[in-house]
Amino acid sequence: MDKYGLIGYPLGHSFSIGYFNEKFHNEGIDAQYINFEIPSIESLPEILASNPELLGLNVTIPYKQKVISYLDYLSPEAREIGAVNVIRVTHKGKSTVLKGFNSDVIGFTRSIEPMIEASTHRKALILGTGGASKAVDYGLRSLGLETMFVSRTEHPGMLTYDDVTADMVREYNVIVNCTPCGMYPKVDCCPKLPYEAMDSRNILYDLIYNPDQTLFMKRGAQYGANTKNGLEMLLLQAFASWEFWHGKETL
């Protein structure tokens, strides 16, 4: 039986395991998807060695960047983004070859693109600086938007939340939350922003999908902003993962 899986820590609720095992069952595919909850990325070689049937992995926090040093090849997008969330595992004799891809950028770009109007949406704020935020930055720039990162702490070339003014959310009217703020069970949290300055020209996109409407989305919608959560992005990512695992790299 072929195996696929997810590496990360902690994993808790995993969208991927349910999605893929249901897919395998419904489509009569002789395969299994397993969660590999590893407290250190150094456990990856052991997982590969003890699971010779493994053909592909998804990668989640905190290993999207740390995993790169274990890979033999990187796709151009993954190299530029600096983060990997899909690994194709190929067995050649006694050696195992690992190639890294990034399906975050595909899922996010295809999900937000229908919301973008070129004449209205020219600049975006990206909340957070982790691996997913780098894919979001790549995707937004590919759609022609100018981007700016917002972080809790000061970094060169980035804003802090205290820097985000009412005028700024009118100018940078696409705002993407790449932080866990507002994710279940801490649903009463949202990024500190001047929501009252928003209107129908704002897009608030949250990578979180549980709850399906975060406080970040609710507060923006209260002032007329268009909102979307990360569920469609996850579905598109999962589809892209399957394509990457099977060598269909032109999507």
Just list the catalytic residues.
64
Cα–Cα distances in angstroms (integers) from residue 33 to residues 21, 104, 108, 122, 230, in the given order: 6, 19, 23, 40, 22
Over the Cα atoms of the chain, what is R_g? 19
CB 126 within 8 A of CB 101: no
CB 90 within 8 A of CB 233: no
| Helix residue ranges, H only, the chain | 15-27, 44-50, 76-81, 104-112, 131-142, 166-171, 215-221, 231-245
Q: What is the DSSP string of 122-181?
A: -EEEEE--SHHHHHHHHHHHHTT-EEEEEESS--TT-EEGGG--HHHHHHS-EEEE-S-T
44 half-sphere exposure, CB direction, 13 A CA radius? 22
